[in-house]
Structure 1
Amino acid sequence: MKHDRTLTTAAGPIFPDFLQWAKEAGESRDTILEIEKVATRLDLTDEELDLIPADLSYFEKVVAASPYGAVSRSKNLEAARNRGNSRVRAALGRFLAACGQQPSDAGARASHDRAIDFIAANEGFVEGGAHFTTGTHRPFLLVRARARLALPDLDQAEFDRLWHDATPDGRKSLRKFARRVEELRRGHNLWPELADLLPREDFEVPAVSDRARRLPWDSLPAEFRADAEEVFRQTLRQPSDMKEWAREQMRFGRSAVEIDAEIAARVGDKKKKLPKNIETALAGYRQATTWLLRESHAPETGFAGLGTLRDAFTTDALEAACAAQIARSAASPTLKDADESSTLWSRFTNLTTIARHGLRDPEILARIRLVRMFHADYVLSPIEMTADAEAICNRLRKSPHLAAAFVNAPARLGDISAKELATASTDFAKDRALRLSACAAAYTIQVSRALRPANLFMTRRRATPSCPRNLTWIADREHAELRFSGGEVKNGETLVVNVLGDDAKVLWQWDKVDRPKLMKLRGLHESPYLFPGTAAPRLRKSSLNLPGGCMSVASILELWDLGDRQLGLGLTPHQCRHALATLLLAVKPGAFGTVASVLANTEQVAKRHYGKDSGEAAAVAVRAALLERHPDIFARMQRRT
């Protein structure tokens, strides 16, 4: 787990020290209970509490973002988690102040309160005479909770610290805070009461450090790009291209023996598996190439001396790229551990393919193999990545009520959406309620037959030229069918999902009622996608002419996170596949063929992910626990399968 590595190298006070201080200092019972829940939230035992550093940065990035469903069955899990996080955060600040690691924030908080109170008191409709639009004060709340300085004394160094400690959502708030401060400082003549309460300088938003420096393909020299594209074309040479090339060579008078030998050399010793999506393959080759160049060519020096793709494949460049990838992962609690990520495997696979079939250079191929061997501990193929699946299975086994929450997610999110929409008085509240309806619809599909995220969020409810629809209503409100052709599924298999009964009602509510409302609210005129937006598909399918109008990846993640905060599951869209597999094995222990069929995988992959060691015994334990607590859960699951 990411936090295990961070914890073993952490210095300073740890959570047992924090907990002991809380008890001795007379902190409230609720606060102490929230501190004790942290171990369970991170899937640790009480004895392993000493692995958690008593550090505000770690708390914000790891603890505060962890799922809450395992420690609470509140009807409003989002509010319960926010309340629990607030109690632990405030107590942790007092503990660190008592340890002399940060100053007392009582005076600093009061200065933030004065500015926030003034802004909030003057919010409303600007057309009606209000000074500020509703919500102007919200970004100030995060800064008030975490800043160590009074608001007028807040400087760039403190802003940088807040940025470094923040989660991705927190950084969005900090961006808004920086904009708000700039706007308010420029309008000081309009609000003289506020002038002395604001920071004395504007803030510059730091570059994101967790991710690598972006290196656009178009920024590379034109001569290099032209050479690389030709190599990629050779790499992706199709059988029809090879036949035409061979005929052309024979017309030039070359001997059949020479042509046959060159074809054999191009194909290589092993049978080449041609990619089904040429555009995706090209994107992978370009990404691997920029990954290789990023560390070996600094921004200040540019790409001097870089003429051909062959020049980029040096041992030093390969070593530097690997070292930087591993270091980025080690330094960030938000990225996967290098030995739990398939990034290096993906990069080496693409580079090997280019060297073998495009450059056809044994020396470069040998270099890649050697550097890959040097970093073999971090070259993990997606097939070997079973830790994620095991973690989901264990979580469901330890907390059977989470399995029930997963199965009942569509109805629960649908109910929350309906209640919030009925009471929504602002566009912000309506947008939130409608997005919850969208997440409920996504869950109706995932609990029926969990799709890969690319298929789930590219689902089309209407056909466009050269692109058929996926969603068909067999019976209104009762039966929806989603059909995906082999050309748009990862392993090339046709995939059909049937959404029935109560789940169909939730999907109908989104498709026919709430989706049009959200599109009108957001000013979206038309979109063929079930989940509409303004983005274009990231990886277009060669067999389909996918139109624009889908959600961006960022919007999808925000949508899903909004729903997960209500459920407390801590699942991503892809991890729903692991959850569904666990439940299926609970219904039918050892039925890996069924799991493979439902997930559109092979039985070998299903066994590798879900059949390790005592996998069947674990499934039996899940079944027994679930039947004891939720006797109707498997009747619903049987109907879905």
Structure 2
Amino acid sequence: MKAAREAPPLEIEKMKHDCTLTNAAPPMFSEFLDWAKEADESRDTVYEIEKVATRLDLTKEELDLIPAELGYFEKVIAVSPYGAVSRSKNLEQARNRGNSRVRSALQRFLGARGHVTSNADIQTSYDKAIAFIEENEGFVDRSALFSTSTHKPFLLVRARARLALPHLDQEEFDRLWHDATPDGRKTLRKFAQRITALRRGHNSWPELADLLPPEDFIVPAASDRARRIVWQSLPASFRADAEDVFRQTLRQPADLKAWAKEQIKLGRTAVEVDKEIAERVGKKDRPPKNIDSATAGYRQATTWLLRESYSPEAGFAGLAALRDLFTTDALEAACDAQIARSASTVSLKDADESSTLWSRITNLTTVARHGLRDPEILARIGLVRLFYADYILSPDEMTADAEAICDRLRKSPQLAAAFVHAPARLAAISHRELEAASSTFAMERGLRLSACAAAYAVQVSRALRPANLFMTRRKATPGCPRNLTWIVDGEHAEIRFSGGEVKNGQSVIVNVHGEDAQVLWQWDQVDRPKLIKLRGIEPSPYLFPGTASPRLRKSGLNLPTGCMSVASIMELWDLGDRQLGLGLTPHQCRHALATLMLAVRPGDFANVASVLANTEQVARRHYGKDSGEAAAVAVRESLLAQHPDVFARMQRRT
């Protein structure tokens, strides 16, 4: 693992991919580019291959770090942001077209090198089934054989399979699953369901019988995720013991007062009671404000620790007390397994770029110190923390994300302009798609784009943490106030969060004005009700409605159901990002806004801290490391040269 940490970031990804797919090193993109030029591939195809370096924030000379392998292409390159290499008005279409050219050329290149890949005969076997299904799609209640879009999952398999459809087997399906992105896996799951349904209905449509695989497919368990252990599946006696320790860990001041009074009545001296209270509290400055959230963290750390010590086959025999879990061997095994999972796939962060180990070890330390109050267990955790110090990094130490975004904006100032103008751009795309919509699917897509435009309208005004952005409530419910208030309809919205709803306890107020307010109003008053009706969702108090329950409920707030799930949020955001080509997550919008603010006022970290509801120390750590101010100045100069109106908009926001 030490060698991996010293390698360049993309080389790490390559090594991770090599160790999971094949022992033979694949050809590299530099060889692929040379072949494309020598083989007289079209000029557009060569251009798209050359763009791959920029999409991955590399130079053309660094193409030899990128493996020319289809699985790597699908997982890393195909999903990379496209805005840095294109200014097309339809970035999603441009990216799909570019990916298709590179994918097809890569298949030809691998075929020329003797690698097994798709060919025309294989694709023809899918074409027959796809054509029959597509011709008979429509409304089933109007005599159509298949519902709309039944054929679509077959398109992905046709593009990537190495076997003809009648010969497709579980081994090939597993390979496709392993190489697929999260979105691709959703499509493959639908494909497996379609195959099962079509094979069961062979008497109804005999034309398909000979075109289908001979067996149903089993969707593999995700190999890059840990085996889930449901808390309720643990022995009742163990859970009772653990919950009692957690209660001791989270003992609130009122509990300590009651306990102290009880001890005094039992005849203990005040000195003894005071000393024990001091030992129980330790160096804890303040108790956690959200008991439910803290308890969930302790449970996650506990199941993480026992996952490698108890196999699913053996069950949890012998698991009696929480204290028994805290052995040095168990702690090391859990850390090793976490690092191995990170190294095994490109879909997870590297262990030394993730805060997972820090989170787990911190929770276990808290339980040991304040719940178990055992010096020996604390010492064991301390030693393991020392052994894995390179991987146990707190979120405050991880500034690579912020630095990468600052660098991207400096190199591609058009991305900064795209971020500032994102609400208006997405709203315009949404309007066009809704006007042209001729199906329920197209209508829903247009409405979801309007939702994403509204989310960006808030983020470019004052970038919120995602947990706050997507928990914004437009209506009060019993025990839970609203956040959104329209000061002036369509012109000025105020979104207010009390300290209890914000991660660091600071209250936050967001004011949305002008064009951004119009975008938010269009979603709130016009498009949101349409989406609720279209999807048949129950009335919801949330600005972004759904059918899920909040994952971690806030203390003192009776948060209602009806919010979007995390998966739905990421799908919604990805839909918008495909139009913008920014490659930003909702949280990374905070980094982008901070970078732009420092471009307007270099060195003004206090202003950045106030807008992001952080401390100035945190702002300096994330955005002032090394030449942060110089980078901000460079961003400003580049932006002024290409987009002189951007800073007028930014000045109005700050």
- Work out whether the TM-score is over 0.5: yes
User: Which residue of 483, 487, 490 corresponds with 1:477?
Assistant: 490
What are structure 1's unaligned runs of at least 5 residues? none
User: 2:94 aligns to what?
Assistant: 80
Separation (CA, whole Å) in 2 of partners of 1:512 and 1:606: 36
* Letter matched to residue 437 of structure 1: S
CA deviations over 1:310-354 (Å, ceiling 9, x no partner):
011111110110000000001110111100000000001100000
**Match in the other structure for 2:34:** 20
CA deviation string 1:586-616 (max 9, x = no partner): 0000000000000000000000000011111
- Listed as ranges, the matches of 1:478-627 within 5 Å are 478-627=491-640
Deviation at 1:92, TM superposition (A): 0.7
Partner secondary structure for residue 296 of structure 1: coil
Match of 2:366 in 1: 353
Match of 1:408 among 418, 421, 432: 421
Give me the TM-score of the superposition, normalised by structure 2: 0.97
Task: Return the letter of the residue paired with 1:327.
Answer: A
In 1, Cα distance between the equivalents of 2:272 and 2:494? 54
Matching residue's letter, 2:366: T
Amino acid aligned to 1:243? K
**Contact kept in structure 2, 1:2 and 1:336, CA below 8 Å:** no
Does structure 2 conserve the Cα–Cα contact (< 8 Å) formed by 1:3 and 1:62?
Answer: no
Question: CA shift at 1:128, angstroms?
Answer: 2.2
Amino acid in the other structure paired with 2:343 = A
Cα distance in 1 between the residues matched to 2:244 and 2:285: 19
* Counterpart position of 2:465: 452
Say whether 1:5 aligns with 2:26.
Answer: no
Amino acid at match of 1:58: Y
Assess if the C-alpha contact under 8 Å between 2:301 and 2:360 holds in 1: yes
Question: 2:266 matched to 1:252?
Answer: yes
Give the one of 375, 380, 401 matched to 1:367: 380
Which residue in the other structure is 2:3 paired with? none
Q: Is the 8 A contact 1:188 1:194 kept in 2?
A: yes
Structure 1 residues 104 and 228: alpha-carbon distance in aligned structure 2, compared to 1, 3 A threshold:
closer
1:156 corresponds to which residue? 170
Partner residue of 1:63 out of 61, 65, 77:
77
- Paired letter, 2:414: H
Given residue 559 of structure 1, which amino acid in structure 2 is its aligned partner? L
Q: CA deviation at 1:2?
A: 5.3
Distance 1:174 1:553 in 2: 21
Provide the secondary structure at the position in 2 that maps to 1:115: helix
Contact 2:118–2:160 (CA under 8 A) maintained in structure 1 = no
Q: Which residue of 2 aligns with 1:638?
A: 651
Write out per-residue CA displacement over residues 254-278 of structure 1, whole angstroms, 9 at most, x where no aligned residue.
Answer: 222222221122122x244311111
Distance in 2, Cα, partners of 1:449 & 1:432: 26
Instruction: Give the C-alpha shift of residue 467 in structure 1.
Output: 0.6
Q: For 1:530-557, what per-residue CA distance to the aligned partner results, in whole angstroms no more than 9, with x for missing partners?
A: 0000000000000211000000000000
Aligned residues: 640
Residue 486 of structure 2 aligns to a residue whose secondary structure is strand
Q: Say whether the 8 Å CA contact 1:488–1:543 is kept in structure 2.
A: no
Q: Secondary structure at the match of 1:136?
A: coil
Quote how far apart the aligned CAs of 1:98 are.
0.9
Question: How far did residue 125 of structure 1 move?
Answer: 1.6
Quickly say closer, same or farther: Cα 1:308–1:361, change in 2 above 3 A.
same
Q: Following superposition of structure 1 onto structure 2, how do residues 289-308 of structure 1 map, counting pairs within 5 Å? A: 289-308=302-321
CA shift, 1:640, in A, is 1.1
Partner Cα separation in structure 2 for residue 409 and residue 306 of structure 1: 53
Match of 1:443 in 2: 456
Give the C-alpha shift of residue 302 in structure 1. 1.0
Q: Partners in 2 of 1:415 and 1:615 — Cα distance?
A: 34
1:110 is aligned with what amino acid? T
Report the Cα distance in structure 1 between the residues aligned to 2:471 and 2:556, rounded to whole angstroms.
Answer: 14
| Deviation per residue, 1:97-153 (Å, 9 max, x gap) | 111111452211110111111111111122222211110100000000000000000
How many angstroms apart in 1 are the aligned matches of 2:258 and 2:552?
A: 29
Classify the secondary structure of the residue corresponding to 1:534. Answer: strand
CA change 1:104–1:630 in 2 (3 A) is closer
Unaligned ranges ≥5, structure 2: 1-7, 19-24
Determine the structure 1 residue equivalent to 2:148: 134
**Structure 1 residues 104, 216: CA separation in 2 closer, same or farther (over 3 Å shift)?**
closer
AA partner of residue 306 (structure 1): L
Equivalent residues of 1:285, 1:351 under 8 A apart: yes
Distance of 2:259 and 2:442 partners within structure 1:
62
Provide the rounded CA distance (Å) in 2 between the counterparts of 1:576 and 1:172. 27
Q: State the secondary structure of the residue aligned to 1:482.
A: strand
Tell me which amino acid in the other structure corresponds to 2:14.
L
CA RMSD between the two structures = 1.0
Letter in 2 for 1:629: Q
Q: Which amino acid aligns with 1:219?
A: S
Are the counterparts in 2 of residues 421 and 430 from structure 1 also a CA contact under 8 Å? Answer: yes
Query: What are the Cα deviations for residues 398-426 of structure 1, in whole angstroms up to 9, with x where unaligned?
Result: 00000000000000000000110111111
The residue that corresponds to 1:105 in the other structure is 119
Counterparts of 2:254 and 2:15, CA distance in 1: 56
User: What TM-score do the two structures reach when normalised by structure 1?
Assistant: 0.99
Q: What letter is aligned with 2:11?
A: D
3-state SS, counterpart of residue 211 of structure 2:
coil
Pair 1:336-2:349 in alignment: yes
Q: What does residue 395 of structure 1 align with?
A: 408
**3-state SS, counterpart of residue 619 of structure 1:** helix
Mapped partners of 1:168, 1:78: distance in 2 = 18
| 1:60-109 Cα shifts (integer Å, max 9, x gaps) | 10000100000000000001111111111111111111111114522111
Q: How far, CA to CA, are the matches of 1:601 and 1:30 in structure 2?
A: 46
**Match for residue 442 of structure 2 among 423, 429, 432:** 429
Percent identity of paired positions between Structure 1 and Structure 2: 77
The answer to whether the Cα contact below 8 Å between 1:413 and 1:437 also exists between their aligned partners in 2 is yes
Instruction: Give yes or no for contact 2:452–2:572 (8 Å, CA) kept in 1.
Output: yes
Q: Distance in 2 between matches of 1:250 and 1:524?
A: 56
Distance of 2:74 and 2:94 partners within structure 1: 16
2:210 to 183, 196, 200: 196
**Aligned match of 1:468:** 481
Report the 3-state secondary structure (helix = DSSP H, G, I; strand = E; otherwise coil) of the residue aligned with 1:459.
Answer: coil
Letter of the 2:188 partner, please give it. Answer: L
What CA distance in whole angstroms lies between the structure 2 residues aligned with 1:31 and 1:117? 28
